[in-house]
Structure 1
């Protein structure tokens, strides 16, 4: 018979303690408190052995014990520890554990921490599970919580990432609304004002991806009235050049405008992808745009 590892021995003790009946002189809450401590020790021992699924399961059992003792903070920490263990190869379970943490944090009014955890959920959806729609929903939720806790810069970063995803999903009106929301916030501070032209550029590319040069031009006028320096920026001139090329159905002019801009401001993957979509739109309907 194989000998039990220290982690397995602790887990057995924890299970025994959790399922024992409370004696005359001990309350059920002290029973679950002790069981919780044992589950935590077992979980840490499993981590030492690099058995992350088992560690996550033990932390989850600890969390349930903490909840039975009405220890919300300890329970939310235990769920978070479970999530960190599950992150090592069990993304679905990590999201379940983080969701438990978030519920406890919001119930106790700790929205800043809840937003941090929700951002982790978004990261797992995006990187591990390739579910960008779910990632987008989590980013918006995190952004709303950061905003209500006055963490404006962090909220904006979430909303900007959400806007990028909306555009990837070809939900262009939602993307434009998010970029404009972030730009409006950024205009209020001298520290962030410089980044406004980037958000407006992205919003304008979304309008062009919708094959809507009228909205793109109307938005450019609106942006220039919000910030009088915008119309002289490289970004504004780039959009104007793209609109001219699209309206005249001129592929070469479109490509030339993109190459010229790229030589000065390197295009990232997001912009490259959307510009290819826009260019295909000209090829689909030559002379119409």
Structure 2
């Protein structure tokens, strides 16, 4: 069945090439735009057949030929065809898909379609993240945040991109912990300005505290805790607050057992996600380098 789709795709591609080139007689009476319009529909049909046949490279190539037609027609779909080309090739070649997404973003930005530019910059960031290329993911998420900010319509998306920057930057050995703390604090403060988002501020303040400890700054962590309490008095009754207070004590006393016990007990009540486990690992390693916190357990 797949081979039938591919054969149909090949047929549409040949017809598209022929339509775009035209004939000596046809070129006299038909305009270049008319040939491009006819070829465009044939190339789109070819791309559909190739996708059904799971021939992703050919589908991507068909969309690239659509771009050639669109540049003649000037119908403003070049960016969209780059995206379709990227989506098709991403099934077999992530690196090449990123190149096409970048070209799409360039077109969207030049056309003031910042919503699309930000969306596909985010897509690039997610690809890098899935490939564990965290330094490239951080850069792409920051660029996505810049697009969302410039667009000025989707504040929540802008904040989400900045939070990804903060989280992923801490996974690199050279990650800027102070910059990540500032992002968590800044967005946490903004959350406190709205009753609907205020409850979410605790989580960001909690992450900031963990990063202070990860940065070997228990004093700064204590000062930050007081500052967070001034902004959100309800934080004092949160388990995260009590947990951080006890972690500070463990770190100041270099008490690895106490640190492990506190993590173990907290994890039983509020399961720690991978990001927090990673940060706690780093804190514990700084206390006792040869002993690591196992994923999901602290004994």
TM-score > 0.5 by shorter chain? yes
Structure 1 residues 246 and 10: alpha-carbon distance in aligned structure 2, compared to 1, 3 A threshold: same
Pick one of 272, 278, 287 that aligns with 1:282: 287
Pick one of 176, 188, 198 that aligns with 1:193: 198
1:29: Cα distance to partner? 3.0
Aligned to 2:133: 131
**Equivalents in 2 of 1:20, 1:212: separation in Å?**
72
**Equivalents in 1 of 2:153, 2:240: separation in Å?**
30
Pick one of 11, 14, 31 that aligns with 1:12: 14
Aligned to 2:163: 160
2:106 matches 1:103: yes
1:219: Cα distance to partner? 1.9
Which structure 2 residues correspond to residues 20-31 of structure 1 after superposition, within 5 A?
A: 20=22, 23-31=27-35
Deviations 1:124-180 (A, max 9, x none): 1121x3312111222222223334433122222222222110111141122212212
Pick one of 45, 48, 67 that aligns with 1:44: 48
Q: SS at 2:170's partner residue? A: helix
**Equivalents in 2 of 1:215, 1:25: separation in Å?**
78
Aligned to 2:91: 88
Gaps of 5+ in 2: 291-299
Q: SS at 2:260's partner residue? A: helix
**Equivalents in 1 of 2:220, 2:37: separation in Å?**
61
Gaps of 5+ in 1: none
Count of matched residue pairs: 282
**Structure 1 vs Structure 2 CA RMSD:** 2.3
Pick one of 46, 58, 61 that aligns with 1:57: 61
Structure 1 residues 66 and 109: alpha-carbon distance in aligned structure 2, compared to 1, 3 A threshold: same
Aligned to 2:265: 260
Structure 1 residues 248 and 67: alpha-carbon distance in aligned structure 2, compared to 1, 3 A threshold: same
Q: SS at 2:153's partner residue? A: coil
**Partners of 1:112 and 1:149 within 8 A in 2:** no
Query: TM-score, normalising length from structure 1?
Result: 0.89
**Equivalents in 2 of 1:65, 1:222: separation in Å?**
59
Query: TM-score, normalising length from structure 2?
Result: 0.86
1:82: Cα distance to partner? 1.2
Q: SS at 1:229's partner residue? A: helix
